Amino acid sequence: MATARDVANYFLSKSDDDAGDMFSNLKIQKLVYYAQGFNLAVFDRPLFGF
């Protein structure tokens, strides 16, 4: 099982600084939150533990 940090690092690895993709702390937290919710809704299991 992945950790919340793994999920955040995944999103950061997909950013393109040259194209102007900037991630604030709040944006990362929201993306991780929505990824967890989406995984719970679709697969009925958490993406990461607490």
Tens of pLDDT, residues 1-50: 899 999 999 999 988 877 777 889 999 999 999 999 999 999 999 999 87
Give the model's pLDDT for residue 3: 95
pLDDT of residue 33: 97
The pLDDT, as a whole number, for residue 4 is 96
- pTM of the predicted protein model: 0.85
Distance between CA atoms of 44 and 48, rounded to whole angstroms? 12
Contact present, 46 and 40 (Cβ < 8 Å): yes
Residue 26 CA: distances (Å) to CA of 33, 43, 44: 10, 25, 26
pLDDT value at position 25?
A: 93
